[in-house]
A and B are shown apart, each in its own frame.
Chain A
Amino acid sequence: VSGQRSISTFFATK
């Protein structure tokens, strides 16, 4: 396991 994803890659900006 390596990469920490950003939460904004999962939920689109309103």
Chain B
Amino acid sequence: MFEAQMAQAALLKQIIESIRELITEATFEVSGTGMMLQAMDSSHVSLVALNLRSDGFQLFRADRPFSMGMNLNHMAKMLKCAGKDDTLTMRADEANDLVTFLFESPGNERLAEFELKLMDITSENLGIPDAEYSATVSMPSAEFQRIVKDLGSIGDTVEITVTKDDVRFAASGDIGNATIKCRQLLDTEKPEDRTLIEMVEPVNLTFALRYLINFSKATSLAPSVTIKLSTEMPVVVEYKLSDIGYVRFYLAPKIED
């Protein structure tokens, strides 16, 4: 038996909306520690890792580890039917291949029950080592989204360079070139407006912009985004979900052959 209750159905809806273009099918692994999902996009260039800790839920019960394979577009269809302030309760048991989403209005006057068919998904699970990164940049998530969208209109790839003074995003294409340089900014009223650059050694890496633009669909989930980089390693783009966990996106770099 699995049962979990979230104060805001809208949170899970937003999470699924932010990843469903990248991965259409995925398996949620449920255990006493929470709900986790890891999946590669169909071209195996990027990877999404979602972690929702059990203590971030209002109620969480998982008698034993349980896998729930879901089509995320179908899940999104159902989650769209939740009212904006509805609570969400998820229920599933191993006896039937269904997960139930219960949407309850704040005054308890409306209770909607949606049952989604579960599916068997065979996918490779990758072990992601806890690595030290050469550079870690935290910046407002809206600023990161603006940068990747703006550069996406110039070129297909972005060259990210981190030095101790700044982080540069550069793109070039048929119409010309663009460079956006962000300096460290610590003296802000709100901590989420900061741009923080932690550099062990300078890095310079190139990535496909369309994936980064896709990752930035998670902007509404967190005011700030953390980008971790090491030479010839996948970049990590992390959105922290307050009090419950994170969504991390990994993207393999482009490397000269």
Contacts and interface: CB of A to CB of B under 8 A. Distances in A.
Contacts of B40: 7-8
A7 B256 contact: no
Interface in A1-14: 1-14
B39 to A, nearest CB: 11
B254 interface: yes
B254 A11 contact: no
Contacts of A10: 233-234, 252
Contacts of B159: 1
Contact of A13 (B43, B125, B252): B125
Contacts of A13: 124-127
Given A10-B233, A11-B126, A13-B124, A4 B257 contact: no
B145 interface: no
B95 interface: no
B234 A14 contact: no
Interface string B22-54: 000000000000000000100111110000000
A4 B127 contact: no
Interface in B240-257: 250-257
Nearest to B46: A7
Interface string B88-119: 00000000000000000000000000000000
Contacts of A3: 254-257
A3 B207 CA distance: 10
Given A7-B46, A11-B234, A14-B126, 13 more contacts: A1-B254, A1-B255, A2-B256, A4-B45, A4-B208, A6-B43, A7-B45, A10-B252, A11-B47, A11-B129, A11-B250, A13-B126, A14-B124
Question: Considering the complex of A and B, which 5 residue pairs feature the smallest CB-CB distances, nearest first?
Answer: A11-B126, A5-B252, A14-B125, A3-B257, A6-B44
7 contacts: A5-B253, A7-B40, A7-B44, A9-B252, A10-B234, A10-B252, A12-B126
Interface of A: 1-14
